[in-house]
Amino acid sequence: MRLNALDWIAMVLLIVGGLNWGLVGLFDIDVVARILGVMSTASRSVYILVGLAALYSIYLCVRKLPAKP
């Protein structure tokens, strides 16, 4: 299974989102908000892109499931 560019972008966004949420949960540190501003247009865009990456990853997982016999 080879990943195309969109698959890699989605994976990177999911990693960024996952690490950010881990830091929020453990230390109450929102790295995206600290770098881009609290609910600024840029930080909201990152959050939206992470959400879209999650939806795309669901599609990717379903697409890669083996066909039913």
Can you tell me the mean pLDDT for 17-45?
Answer: 96
Of the pLDDT bands very low, low, confident and very high (cuts 50, 70, 90), residue 1 is: low
pLDDT of residue 48: 96
Can you tell me the mean pLDDT for 32-48?
Answer: 96
Of the pLDDT bands very low, low, confident and very high (cuts 50, 70, 90), residue 5 is: very high
Q: What is the pTM of this model?
A: 0.85
- Spatial distance between the Cα atoms of 34 and 27, rounded to a whole number of angstroms: 13
- Spatial distance between the Cα atoms of 66 and 62, rounded to a whole number of angstroms: 9
pLDDT of residue 3: 83
